[in-house]
Amino acid sequence: MYRLEVLLFVIRTCITVAKLNCFQRLEEDNVSFCSCDPAIEDRSWSKFSFLEALMLCSMRCSQTASCVAYNFFNATNQCQLFNQTLNKFSVLPGCQYYLKNDKDGIQIKKPLAIHVVDELKEFYFNGNNISAELNFANANNFKLCDRCDLNGNIYVVAVNLLVSSDDDFLLTNETWKCTKSYYDGWYKISYDDSFWSDAITVLHPENTDRTGCLSPKAKWIIESSNCSECLFYCRKRFLS
């Protein structure tokens, strides 16, 4: 009994440290996401308590070289391991999705070039506001572009301008969604934009050659009514 208690104490200590240092739960407004991607391993620890099973799930992912994330279901102690970051998600009661932090705390950086048609009002990255006033010196100058670094995995970008990343992963084009109507939470990861219209691509009103800092594949986008004087909102979801 003494050896078992010591063993459980060691497990709790190691997993707690691992969870704090290596994994973070993906949630928004106290709502947890649950991955719908194919799992590389699926098991349950029904004989253990919720906390012990959560620790074992975290340890299992840590010890599996290809594991980068896991689901944990509170009611059944079910553990699902994934070898890719979140692509498809749902919101299920009792399901928590944990994502492995970048090794040694080094964040994934994606340099982004930004160019506005008229004025940059708001910029959101994964549901978080990136202050235009503090981060984009040329937010009101369509002749000049700005650059910034996006850190970590990209889930949702919400904005009204022309953007491109250095590797062309993030580009404004017709795959974005746009509207001229304001909706509460329009910038959040969990927001359902399925009823928004696809973005319309247009030519820059002056001269697209002035956007030399951007990828030539990036396109100017507006919402479907092509209202030149309207304030409109655009977003790009990288999750299903």
Position 11 scores a pLDDT of 37
Residues of the chain with CATH 3.50.4.10: 2-105
- Range with lowest mean pLDDT among 29-38, 77-86, 106-115, 199-208: 106-115
Position 1 scores a pLDDT of 42
Q: Which residue has the tokens 């079910």?
A: 78
Q: What is the pLDDT of residues 40-95, one digit of tens each?
A: 999 999 899 999 999 999 999 999 989 999 999 999 999 999 998 887 888 888 99
Q: Note whether 91 and 190 are within 8 A (CB).
A: yes
What are the DSSP E strand ranges found in the chain?
23-25, 27-28, 31-32, 34-35, 41-44, 69-73, 78-82, 89-90, 95-100, 109-115, 124-125, 128-129, 146-151, 156-159, 162-165, 177-179, 197-198, 200-202, 220-222, 233-237
Task: Report CA-CA distances (Å) from 215 to 123, 164, 185, 211, 221.
Answer: 19, 6, 29, 8, 14
Protein fold of 2-105: Hepatocyte Growth Factor (3.50.4)
